[in-house]
């Protein structure tokens, strides 16, 4: 396969690529490129724009009967962001609130805002985190 190029991005976990009896490992946060027998590794953040295609093909999260915490865990994984609660109270609320309805047609980022707007929790989303605070009474 002279002149061929294989590029694999690894968002989470580990990937093993075997070519001509040689195994090359790629780890989370890496892009592994194999070209003409050479291996190149570069960094790629879990929330990089290069992953936007994954969110666009992901099936929507079925929120009916699920907790806010379960939803946020899904949203964090889909967007490559870490969910961080501002306090134990915020985390407790997220585990206690049971959701109803649907978020069909929303991107994971849009869903975070829409879903949490129906609760006593407030999100602050940045490049690497979904920060969740308990709303003040």
Q: Helix, strand or coil for residue 11? A: coil
> How far is residue 116's CA from residue 132's CA, in Å, rounded to a whole number?
9
Mean pLDDT of the chain: 90
Q: What is the pTM of this model?
A: 0.76
* Percent of the chain's residues with pLDDT above 70: 97
Beta-bridge partner residues of 33: 7, 40
CATH of residue 122's domain is 3.55.50.30
Q: Give the per-residue pLDDT at 137.
A: 63
Question: Where in the sequence is the domain holding 123, given as residue range(s)?
Answer: 59-134
Question: Is 117 in the same domain as 67?
Answer: yes
Given a cut of 50, whether residue 1 has pLDDT beyond it is: no
Whole-number pLDDT of residue 2: 55
pLDDT at 135 over 70: yes
Distance from C-alpha of 97 to C-alpha of 4, rounded to nearest angstrom: 51
Best CA proximity match to 51, nearest among 28, 25, 84, 35: 28
Instruction: Give tens-digit pLDDT for 75-124.
Output: 999 888 999 999 999 999 999 999 999 988 888 889 999 999 999 999 99
Does 99 share its domain with 38? Answer: no
If we measure between CA atoms, which residue out of 92, 126, 94, 93 comes closest to residue 109? Answer: 126
């Amino acid at each position: 396969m002279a002149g061929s190029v294989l590029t694999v991005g690894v968002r989470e976990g580990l990937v093993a690529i075997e070519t001509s009896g040689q195994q090359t490992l790629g780890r989370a946060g890496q892009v592994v490129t194999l070209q003409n027998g050479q291996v190149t590794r570069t960094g790629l953040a879990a929330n990089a724009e290069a992953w936007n295609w994954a969110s666009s093909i992901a099936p929507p999260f079925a929120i009916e009967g699920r907790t806010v915490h379960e939803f946020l865990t899904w949203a964090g994984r889909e967007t490559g962001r870490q969910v961080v609660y501002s306090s134990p109270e915020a985390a407790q609320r997220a585990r206690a609130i049971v959701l109803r309805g649907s978020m069909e047609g929303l991107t994971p980022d849009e869903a975070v805002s829409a879903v949490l707007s129906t609760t006593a929790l407030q999100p602050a989303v940045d490049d690497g985190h979904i920060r969740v605070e308990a709303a003040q009474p």
